[in-house]
Amino acid sequence: MLLLAAALACSRSPGRDPAIAIDLDIDTTAAIPPAKTHHMGREIAQTMHFTGAPWLVRESRQREEDCRMLIEALGIKRGQTVCDLGCGNGFYTLELARRVGPTGTVWASDIQVEMLRMLVENAAEARLKNIRPVLGTPIDPRLPKAAVDLVLCVDVYHEFSHPDAMLARVHESLADDGVLVLAEFRGEDPAVPIKPLHKMTKAQVRAELGAAGFRLAREFDRLPWQHLMMFVKDEGAAGPGSPP
Ligand SMILES: C[S@@+](CC[C@H](N)C(=O)[O-])C[C@H]1O[C@@H](n2cnc3c(N)ncnc32)[C@H](O)[C@@H]1O
């Protein structure tokens, strides 16, 4: 009886709601090539460690980055399927979940399970159930194919150790009119107080995304520190991974 009570208490505790259980089912047999150090002339930044997660929810983030303006600029609609790729502890995931509403879905993918555990705790506290946390690998965010309306990467893309593979999988995951949105700290702007490796220039983003079969559809230039660049699939281009 005592054991049953303990099991029930445990299953009801925040973060253990099966509606937002983490999908941990990665293919452990898939070979992951060595991490790249450079990509198209850019040095790739180290992954932000999960112990740094409090920085993502710091009190000054709204003032410094105007996160509300960023999310407004996305034009999220109720019922959409979106993905917060490199979601960290879920700072943006929760707001995306509110905006797509109960008929929508937010896939939240990250390569650090500790980040996903924090996200699940935060989602449970906010009573949000339309989030699908998924453990990704450095070469695969494990998203459904041709199904996602919008993939959001905030302060993430410059950390991808295998950008080609990640962009190829994102390309496959997007619906025909799906959008990939990158928010990257402005590499051209010395006033943005972020380490250079964690910044990108517009020219570099355009070159890398263009090579991966994406076309720039729109830019939003009013954020205090970041570029916000929206890409669609460039059907005229050789797709990612196509033969030369
Ligand atoms: C600087 S944090 C940003 C977190 C979140 N997007 C935010 O703005 O609050 C970068 C996150 O990207 C994740 N990341 C790095 N490479 C990744 C990959 N290949 N796939 C998924 N997540 C990745 C890291 O684990 C980390 O949680």
Report if residue 75 sits inside a domain.
Answer: yes
Looking at 3-7, 41-45, 139-143, 228-232, which range is the least confident one?
Answer: 3-7
Q: What is the pLDDT of residues 158-171, one digit of tens each?
A: 999 999 999 999 99
CB of 110 within 6 A of ligand 1: the answer is: yes
Judge whether residue 238 has pLDDT over 80: no
Q: Which domain holds residue 203?
A: 64-233
Confidence (pLDDT) at 237: 75
Main-chain phi, psi angles of 157, to 5 degrees: -55, -40
User: Does residue 142 lie within any of the structural domains?
Assistant: yes
Supply the CATH number for residue 89's domain.
Answer: 3.40.50.150
pLDDT digits (tens, 9 = 90+) for 70-101: 999 999 999 999 999 999 999 999 999 999 99
50 belongs to a structural domain: no
- Work out the percent of the chain whose per-residue pLDDT is above 70: 89
Residue 73's nearest CA partner among 187, 227, 243, 212 is: 227
pLDDT tens for each residue of 96-142: 999 999 999 999 999 999 999 999 999 999 999 999 999 999 999 99
Domain membership of residue 58 (yes or no) is no
What integer is the mean pLDDT of 2-13?
36
Let me know if residue 179 belongs to a domain: yes
Mean pLDDT, all residues of the chain: 92
Flag whether 10 is in a domain.
no
- Exposure string (b/e) for 149-168, b if CB count within 10 Å is 16 or more? bbbbbbbbbbbbbbbbbbbb
Ligand 1 pocket residue status of 48, Cβ below 6 Å: yes
Number of domains in the chain: 1
Say how many Å lie between the CA of residue 137 and the centre of ligand 1: 11
Q: Quickly state the pLDDT bin for 229 (edges 50, 70, 90).
A: very high
26, part of any domain: no
Residue 158 CA, ligand 1 centroid: distance in Å: 9
| pLDDT computed for residue 7 by the predictor | 36
DSSP assigned state of 55: G
Amino acid type, 39: H
Burial of 141: CB neighbours in 10 Å, binned 0-12, 13-18, 19+: buried
Q: Please count the helices (runs of H) and the strands (runs of E) in the chain.
A: 7, 10
User: Does residue 65 have its Cβ closer than 6 Å to ligand 1?
Assistant: no
Strands 199-200 and 42-43: what pairing? unpaired
Query: What is the pLDDT at residue 3?
Result: 36
Q: How far is the CA of 2 from the centre of ligand 1 (A)?
A: 41
Verify whether ligand 1 is closer than 6 Å to residue 155 (CB atom).
Answer: yes
Q: How far is the centre of ligand 1, averaged over its atoms, from the C-alpha of 85 (Å)?
A: 7
Confidence grade of residue 235 (pLDDT, cut at 50, 70, 90)? confident
Residue 112: CB within 6 Å of ligand 1?
yes
Task: Identify whether 97 is part of a domain.
Answer: yes
- At residue 239, the pLDDT reads 54
pLDDT for 175-203, tens place per residue? 999 999 999 999 999 999 999 999 999 99
For atom 26 of ligand 1, which residue has the closest CA?
A: 88
pLDDT at 11 > cutoff 90: no
